[in-house]
Amino acid sequence: MIDYTLILTYMYQGKQWILNGDDYSGLIWLSDSPKPSKKTLEDLWPEVQAKIESDFETKTANKAALLERLGITAEEAALLVQ
């Protein structure tokens, strides 16, 4: 299922919009720029999915590197923030 909220959040930063529900028909475009078409948003979905996956991989690698530098496990780090 296409997540229009994620597409709009990742690809239209700084634009103002409201999405009522999960479907394109609920998109109310508030910005002065042209409202993206349903097809445009659907075409962007694979790119957004790849970006989300890349961001997750980067975050995971950064976390592992930090834990390694600190010489502690994830469980030990969790104890520090309780």
Q: What is the pLDDT of residues 11-65, one digit of tens each?
A: 999 999 999 999 999 999 999 999 999 999 999 999 999 999 999 999 999 999 9
> Residue 36: CB partners within 8 Å, gap ≥ 6?
12, 29
Structure tokens at 19: 């999405």
Write down the pLDDT at residue 81: 85
pLDDT at 80 over 90: no
Helix or strand holding residue 67 (H, E) = helix 38-70
Write down the pLDDT at residue 36: 98
Write down the pLDDT at residue 70: 94
